[in-house]
Amino acid sequence: MTVTIKDVAKVANVSYSTVSKALNNSPLVKEATKKKVLKVAKELGYEPNLAAKQLVSKRTEVIGLVWPTIERIVLATLVTNISNAFKQTPYSMILSVDTPETAMETFRKFSVDGIIAFAESDLPLESFANIPVVNYGVYKQGDVSYPTIDANHEKAIELAVDHLHRQGHKHIVYAGLLDTTDPLQIEKVESYRKAMKKFSIENCIHEVDTKGLDWQDGYHAVDKILQSDPIPTAIIGGSYDISGGIVRALQEREISIPEEMSIVSYDNIPQMETMEVPMTCVGVPVNELAKEIVSSIIDLIEEKEEDAWIKKLTPVLTVRESTAFNK
Amino acid sequence: MTVTIKDVAKVANVSYSTVSKALNNSPLVKEATKKKVLKVAKELGYEPNLAAKQLVSKRTEVIGLVWPTIERIVLATLVTNISNAFKQTPYSMILSVDTPETAMETFRKFSVDGIIAFAESDLPLESFANIPVVNYGVYKQGDVSYPTIDANHEKAIELAVDHLHRQGHKHIVYAGLLDTTDPLQIEKVESYRKAMKKFSIENCIHEVDTKGLDWQDGYHAVDKILQSDPIPTAIIGGSYDISGGIVRALQEREISIPEEMSIVSYDNIPQMETMEVPMTCVGVPVNELAKEIVSSIIDLIEEKEEDAWIKKLTPVLTVRESTAFNK
DNA sequence: AAAATAATTGCAAGCGTTATCAAAAAAAGG
DNA sequence: CCTTTTTTTGATAACGCTTGCAATTATTTT
């Protein structure tokens, strides 16, 4: 039937406690035996019994990810990247698409060692009874009740403006969600203004409210952009989807990208590369974000730091084919 | 610390094996003691230790759901509905967004009792070593290697045509993905043709290829629809997203729904109700789909049927405000 | 080469449950 | 009132694993 530690022990000709230690890479067992055990284990197709492990060690090496809503593709991509990042570790991840409350119940049932949450999800703080949590994104400006990972949004937008400015653009419009209380969206526009000032083109500041973050929101924002005077030569799209909509709308009007219009998108996900026009974008690459989140939660579990902190990751500019010199 | 069965035993003044039986509602313990034990357990806030339970009973009461890609909202809604449906049962669900191969690994690690998969995911058949699987949707026409749940698509489309036909529509256009090998999409158009024939309006058969299943695909199909002669009075949208795009495009052209154009959408998800125009739709309601999937996998686990079968669920027509009599 | 020290290995005690079966208590029968 | 039968309870052995600690073996020291 199922291969246990004892079966491995028998074949490897050592005691089963040695097998256990070998499998856990304990320094108390000789390298040679460790190798032998590992080889036998593999041959027999040994798989550790999680329940037994958990029962004695009180740890599960399982981390729960609360993902209450099927949201924008950026988050979806982040989730898959996080899931991937765990493959390099002894931990596994389970996902709950329930409300935070029921997710917490499930996670307690599984006795997960740690939890990853997104700012969007509004966690029931009380129910965490000393189980480590890492949060992605901030709830409100300045609020850091948990260890929090976030991108340096200000820097990201500055990177976008800088890039366009170097290419000779002055009339750079920011197309994003403006009329909102979402701190992230607010920070992005404000950063845009700041950056325009920094490069002394604040007289060209020009913002278009997309009213949302989706494809159609970008698509419909193009009308407004093209009606302005002077017509901008470059656009900063506030999200992956917004930029996608903008590109399509421009193409339909036969305005060529990047010859007649440059566009830089916020968000840095692999999908940017495979868009109709490979997109120049700014943001923390989603795989880095994922790696950081994963290593943070593991550190937290293994070192049990207590404080809430915030870590702002440095974004990068990825230049592709949607931007060019302004002639 | 954590309250165990032994703590309960001590307080209730019985042996801990009696407590175990009482908690599992065994007929071998007296009603009176059962009540007493349950009361004490509650008072002490006893929570059963899943790991210990698993270790001895060999069952985890956990079911894995393979969801490799973040796909159309219909699937996302189905996933959350399935997750909800499990709440009525002793089982819990874990989700893997990995490739089917790695998902299987994770599931093996957790020793899930069963697996739910979507036809889209192309499972590695070999790796299932007698763990029950339920599949949603069919891979290819007629292929049922697993117990499979699916909607009766033919019936659904017929329902749509019937509804429109009763309202006096003849020029009913089907807007969906036509140029594809996806058996589901093919079945839908063919069902459309069949239904049109059934109601003797096959001379009005009119299909528009959306080239995809997304919002923008629907949006752009409207041009083609409006260029035809005669202009149809009703549209069957091939998916939730397609229909959404169609509605928006019609509204932009100030063609009022349902006065000037009726539209029935394929897919029956709650979001249909909250669209810009509450949408008349056909399909198996997702919550029913979810319930059926959940009860099937549980039956399979508990009764261990061996055969592959396919269960076609009966779709329903949900009439809302996107359809009206043709005048 | 013997003694001391260090590096490995093995033993055995749990972890919190369930499940089997023997023991005890209660009920029934003679 | 003592057997016999039935109902109820309680020991106890797994389940597969980790983990101190004791036992063994290998390596230094003297």
User: Are B104 and B128 members of one domain?
Assistant: yes
Evaluate whether residue A323 is within a structural domain. no
Evaluate whether residue B146 is within a structural domain. yes
User: Are B75 and B141 members of one domain?
Assistant: yes
Q: From CA A175, how far away is CA B146, in angstroms rounded?
A: 48
Q: What's the pLDDT at B127? A: 58
Kindly state the helix (H) or strand (E) to which residue A207 belongs, with its residue range. Answer: strand A206-209
Q: Which domain holds residue B17?
A: 5-48
Backbone angles phi, psi at B114, to 5 degrees: -165, 170
User: Are B138 and B91 members of one domain?
Assistant: yes
Q: Kindly determine whether the C-beta of residue B57 is less than 7 Å away from any atom of nucleic acid strand C.
A: yes
Q: Helix axis angle, B286-303 relative to B73-85, nearest 10°?
A: 50
Evaluate whether residue A54 is within a structural domain. no
The proportion of chain B whose per-residue pLDDT surpasses 90, expressed as a percent, equals: 69
User: Are A26 and A81 members of one domain?
Assistant: no
Q: Which residues of B touch A80 (CB under 8 A)?
A: 70, 97-98
Closest chain B C-alpha to A127 CA, distance in angstroms: 15
Q: What's the pLDDT at A125? A: 57
pLDDT mean over B17-44: 93
User: Are B233 and B266 members of one domain?
Assistant: yes
Evaluate whether residue B327 is within a structural domain. no
**B280 and B265 Cβ atoms separated by less than 8 Å:** yes
Confidence of residue B140 (pLDDT cuts 50, 70, 90): low
Q: Kindly determine whether the C-beta of residue A14 is less than 7 Å away from any atom of nucleic acid strand C.
A: yes
Q: Is the pLDDT of residue B65 over 60?
A: yes
Q: Which residues of A touch B79 (CB under 8 A)?
A: 70, 97
Number of domains in chain A: 3
Evaluate whether residue A55 is within a structural domain. no
- A interface mutation test: which of B73, B84, B86, B97 has the most A CBs within 10 A? B97
Evaluate whether residue A205 is within a structural domain. yes
Task: Give the β-pairing of A316-318 and A280-283.
Answer: antiparallel
Q: From CA B23, how far away is CA B41, in angstroms rounded?
A: 9
Q: What's the pLDDT at B61? A: 87
Exposed / middle / buried, residue B250 (Cβ in 10 Å: 0-12, 13-18, 19+): buried
Q: What's the pLDDT at A127? A: 59
Q: Kindly determine whether the C-beta of residue B59 is less than 7 Å away from any atom of nucleic acid strand C.
A: no
- The tokens describing A132, both together, are 């480590």
- A interface mutation test: which of B88, B95, B102, B112 has the most A CBs within 10 A? B95
- Integer angstrom CA distances of residue B304 from B104, B118, B131, B139, B298: 20, 20, 9, 23, 9
User: Are B145 and B292 members of one domain?
Assistant: yes
Evaluate whether residue A53 is within a structural domain. no
- Integer angstrom CA distances of residue A231 from A56, A173, A203, A210, B152: 68, 9, 14, 17, 52
Low-confidence ranges of chain A (pLDDT < 50): none
Instruction: Give the pLDDT confidence of B297-325 residue by residue, as tens digits.
Output: 999 988 767 678 899 999 999 999 999 99
Of B52, B76, B98, the CB nearest to A83: B98
Instruction: Give the pLDDT confidence of A193-210 residue by residue, as tens digits.
Output: 999 999 999 999 999 999
User: Are B170 and B278 members of one domain?
Assistant: yes
Q: What's the pLDDT at B152? A: 96
Instruction: Give the pLDDT confidence of B107-131 residue by residue, as tens digits.
Output: 888 889 999 998 866 666 555 667 8
Neighbours of A291 (CB within 10 A): 17
Closest chain A C-alpha to B142 CA, distance in angstroms: 32
Q: What's the pLDDT at B105? A: 80
User: Are B125 and B175 members of one domain?
Assistant: no
User: Are B145 and B89 members of one domain?
Assistant: yes
Q: Which residues of A touch B52 (CB under 8 A)?
A: 51, 55
User: Are B141 and B18 members of one domain?
Assistant: no
Q: Which nucleotide is nearest to B21 (CA to C1')?
A: C18
CATH number of the structural domain spanning residue A34:
1.10.260.40
B231 DSSP assignment:
P
CB contact under 8 A, B51 and A47: no
User: Are A131 and A200 members of one domain?
Assistant: no
What average pLDDT does chain B have?
91
Give, rounded to a whole angstrom, the gap between the first and last alpha carbons of chain B: 74
A58 DSSP assignment:
S
Helix locations, chain B, DSSP H: 5-12, 16-23, 31-44, 50-57, 73-85, 100-109, 153-166, 183-198, 215-227, 240-252, 286-303
User: Are A177 and A92 members of one domain?
Assistant: no
- A interface mutation test: which of B72, B106, B131, B243 has the most A CBs within 10 A? B106
Q: Which residues of A touch B101 (CB under 8 A)?
A: none
Q: What's the pLDDT at A199? A: 97
Evaluate whether residue A25 is within a structural domain. yes
Helix locations, B72-167, DSSP H: 73-85, 100-109, 153-166
B228 three-class SS: coil
Residues sharing a CB contact under 8 Å with residue A89, sequence separation 6 or more, in sequence order: A294, A298
Instruction: Give the pLDDT confidence of B173-232 residue by residue, as tens digits.
Output: 999 999 998 889 999 999 999 999 999 999 999 999 999 998 889 999 999 999 998 999
CATH number of the structural domain spanning residue A296:
3.40.50.2300
Measure CA B148 to chain center: 12
Q: Pick the residue from chain B with its C-alpha nearest to A64.
A: B94
CB contact under 8 A, B95 and A96: yes
* Higher-scoring residue by pLDDT: B305, B60: B60
Q: Which chain C positions come under 7 Å from a protein C-beta? A: 7-12, 14-21
